Amino acid sequence: MQQVRVRFAPSPTGFLHIGGLRTALYNYLFARKEKGTFILRIEDTDQSRIVPGAIENLIVSLHNLGLDFDEGPGKEGSFGPYIQSQRLNLYQKQAQILLEKGFAYPCFCSSETLTNMRKEQQEKGEFVKYDRRCLALSKAEIERKIAAGEKYVIRLKIPDNRKFSFFDLIRGEVEMDSSQSDDQVLLKSDGFPTYHLASVVDDHFMQISHIIRGEEWLSSTPKHIFLYECLGWEAPKWVHLPLILNPDRTKLSKRMNDVSVDNYLANGYLREAIVNFVALLGWHPADDRELFTLEELCDVFSLKRVNKANAIFDLAKLDWMNGHYLRSLPLEEIALRCKPLFLEKGYDISDPEKYHLSIAVARERCSLLNEIVDYCKMFYQPDTLTEEEEKILATPEAQKVLAWFVQKLPTITNWETEEIQNIINAGITALGIKGKAFYIPLRLALIGKMHGPELPSTFAIIGLEESLQRLKCYLLKNEE
């Protein structure tokens, strides 16, 4: 039985996006379930689109999500190098073999010529493809052009009138007509291969067992099957994942939407939620369960349960899932992940008890890490009151409430929510003031808001000394 070897092969043209993450995740889960090998291969043959630092960013992003590869850049195995620009001789050699066998031919057409050709075909309503004008060149003409230094590419000669049939593990039997395939460029004039040649060559020499990639590559599969045939190689198993769509059924595009994984992490989404959510974009378990750790996904994932139908990216569901993980992960872990965000805001979190208490209260009411930081602002830097709010605090009833608590809070021997609640109950009884008239002045003075968490929790988080200071700040002189 062939060992499972799968690869995630992104181009270093930017950040890891949701579609790329889904492809990487399914490859990773399948490899782990089958006790196989997960490979990272960098497809950087389009040198004009490379973004500096993108390779390093991709590797860090995968690591941050828990998707560490077994072979790849910096983790060299027996099949490297794993960056395509370091494998050019291999592609050029195979292109030469295809030329010699008559399965490929040189094309000397300029960009202008090709543009005009496509324009004419579009105007005639024809299928836009290369018209093979260079296929008719004689050997002598080809040699003369090359000797003259004319630039050329190498194209694959797709057979006419052929039905390409292949089995896709998700879609079953697929059949495509060669008339809908172009004579694909295999090797560009700069000596770099296109995706089509490089991916086939690498998948063969890296002994890839399953090609798990997006549906957008489905139409290219006949070209790839033909390349395997021409080179005398056995093709891997094909797996084409469904598209990911926006709620309005438009394609989720990394160019049209802000769908970079780093952006979601920066906006306060947890890696556990992102991985769990993305796993369900096209795959479903045997039951209705929706919440999985990465380890659990590795145990239950199966390509047989990947849907043919397109997946819908539902941000509301991601928010719900993130809220679940905010509340279910250990408090210390959430506090650790929030720490840089609190420090960035300039909050003094040197008191660990106050910090953890504030996180505990906030995570019950928030869905994102960033929301936790915003929610906790009241405990560290309360809002400035409006003129109307200050008038509320200046009323006789409000002043009585503030004065009573300034006097009684220092008598609490155990600064816990239960003891604080007892003082609050005693205040309501002693003052004969209740409801909004009692609670709103306290909240305005303590946190700068009319509404907030339960008062015992608020007092407990802020602490005795700070609570007294905030209450006294709004206590008028004649009431002190």
Backbone angles phi, psi at 428, to 5 degrees: -60, -45
Neighbours of 366 (CB within 10 A): 21
Cα Rg for the chain, rounded, in angstroms?
A: 32
- State the alpha helices, DSSP H only, in 291-330: 294-300, 315-328
Instruction: Please check the confidence at residue 257 and state whether its pLDDT lies above 70.
Output: no
- Tell me whether residue 102 is exposed, middle or buried, using C-beta atoms within 10 angstroms of its C-beta: 0 to 12, 13 to 18, 19 or more: exposed
Share of the chain above pLDDT 90, in %: 86
pLDDT in tens, 12-63: 988 899 999 999 999 999 999 999 999 999 999 988 888 899 999 999 999 9
Contact of 32 with 234, CB cutoff 8 Å: no
Grade residue 256 by pLDDT with cuts at 50, 70 and 90: very low
Instruction: Please check the confidence at residue 409 and state whether its pLDDT lies above 80.
Output: yes
**Which of the following is catalytic: 33, 129, 188, 254?**
254
Q: What local confidence, expressed as pLDDT, does residue 355 receive?
A: 97
Amino acid identity, residue 59?
I
Residue 175 makes CB contacts below 8 A (sequence gap 6+) with: 163, 164, 165
Contact of 29 with 276, CB cutoff 8 Å: no
Q: Can you identify the CATH homologous superfamily of domain 5-74+244-312?
A: HUPs (3.40.50.620)
What whole-number distance in Å separates Cα of residue 90 and Cα of residue 79? 12
Contact of 43 with 195, CB cutoff 8 Å: yes
Query: Using CA atoms in the order 162, 163, 169, 172, what is the torsion angle rounded to 10 degrees?
Result: 180
Distance from the first to the final alpha carbon of the chain = 85
- DSSP assigned state of 218: G
Instruction: Please check the confidence at residue 92 and state whether its pLDDT lies above 50.
Output: yes
> What are 23's two structure tokens?
């492809």
> What are 118's two structure tokens?
């496509």
Across the chain, mean pLDDT equals 93
What whole-number distance in Å separates Cα of residue 189 and Cα of residue 251? 33
DSSP β-bridge partners for residue 308: none
Grade residue 477 by pLDDT with cuts at 50, 70 and 90: low
Global pTM? 0.91
| Number of residues that this document lists for the chain | 480
Amino acid identity, residue 452?
G
Question: Quick one: CATH architecture of 387-479?
Answer: Orthogonal Bundle (1.10)
Instruction: Please check the confidence at residue 478 and state whether its pLDDT lies above 60.
Output: no
> What are 380's two structure tokens?
């560290």
Mean pLDDT calculated for residue range 255-262 = 70
What whole-number distance in Å separates Cα of residue 5 and Cα of residue 203? 10
Domain 330-380 has CATH 1.25.40: no
Question: Quick one: CATH architecture of 87-241?
Answer: 3-Layer(aba) Sandwich (3.40)
Residue 435 makes CB contacts below 8 A (sequence gap 6+) with: none
Q: What local confidence, expressed as pLDDT, does residue 168 receive?
A: 96
Residue 168 makes CB contacts below 8 A (sequence gap 6+) with: 174, 218, 238, 239, 240
Domains 330-380 and 387-479 share a fold: no
Instruction: Please check the confidence at residue 480 and state whether its pLDDT lies above 50.
Output: no
Q: What local confidence, expressed as pLDDT, does residue 222 receive?
A: 93
Contact of 19 with 259, CB cutoff 8 Å: yes
Listed by start position, the domains of the chain span 5-74+244-312, 87-241, 330-380, 387-479
Instruction: Please check the confidence at residue 253 and state whether its pLDDT lies above 90.
Output: no
> What are 327's two structure tokens?
């509340």
Grade residue 442 by pLDDT with cuts at 50, 70 and 90: very high
Contact of 355 with 331, CB cutoff 8 Å: no
Amino acid identity, residue 398?
A
DSSP β-bridge partners for residue 104: 156
Q: What local confidence, expressed as pLDDT, does residue 218 receive?
A: 93
Catalytic residue status for 254: yes
Mean pLDDT calculated for residue range 264-283 = 96
